[in-house]
């Protein structure tokens, strides 16, 4: 009986080890799409001119975002809380907190690119908002590289208050 129990335990441990190895293989990082480069701040975000694959987010530089906005081709969406927005935001931005992005995405002007931003160190909240917008058919959405903190540190136009 002892030999049978030992053999069964050995088999069980061997199977558990194989299953664990297979699980590790499945959790490998995503492969970047051809022609794209990983973001320097968040390697799960890829910068690419092509439409992003599932889970990928297009980033836009502050300079390019300014050009798009000045030309009337883009709108800034601040995904921080209303309270944080009130303390300061990019001039002309619309506040749609990340938790409300799906329920309020129809407020985004049609035909314009969406530039979402947050105050995260690696665009986490804005990237998540862009992914949600993409999932609801808004394909011209970008996360602002550097976000609110970089915009403010560069001394670019800001506003304070609810609007």
Tens digits of per-residue pLDDT, 6-55?
444 444 444 444 434 333 333 333 334 444 444 443 343 334 444 445 56
Q: How many CB atoms lie within 10 A of CB 119?
A: 18
Express each pLDDT in 101-122 by its tens digit: 989 988 888 889 999 999 988 8
pTM over 0.75: no
Look at residues 65, 47, 37 and name the one whose alpha carbon lies nearest to residue 154.
65
């Amino acid at each position: 009986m002892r030999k049978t129990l030992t053999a069964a335990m050995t088999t069980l441990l061997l199977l558990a080890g194989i299953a664990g190895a297979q699980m590790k293989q499945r959790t490998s990082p995503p492969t970047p799409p051809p022609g794209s480069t990983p973001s320097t701040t968040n390697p799960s975000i890829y910068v690419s001119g092509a439409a992003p694959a599932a889970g990928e987010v297009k980033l836009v530089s502050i300079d390019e975002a300014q050009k798009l906005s000045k030309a009337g081709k883009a709108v800034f969406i601040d995904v921080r809380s209303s309270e944080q927005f009130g303390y300061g935001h990019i001039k002309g931005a619309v506040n749609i907190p990340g938790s409300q992005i799906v329920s309020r995405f129809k407020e985004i002007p049609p035909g314009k690119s969406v530039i979402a931003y947050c105050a995260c160190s690696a665009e986490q909240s804005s990237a998540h908002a862009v992914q949600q917008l993409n999932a609801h058919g808004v394909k011209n959405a970008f996360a602002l590289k550097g976000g609110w903190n970089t915009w403010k540190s560069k001394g670019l136009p800001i506003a304070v208050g609810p609007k």
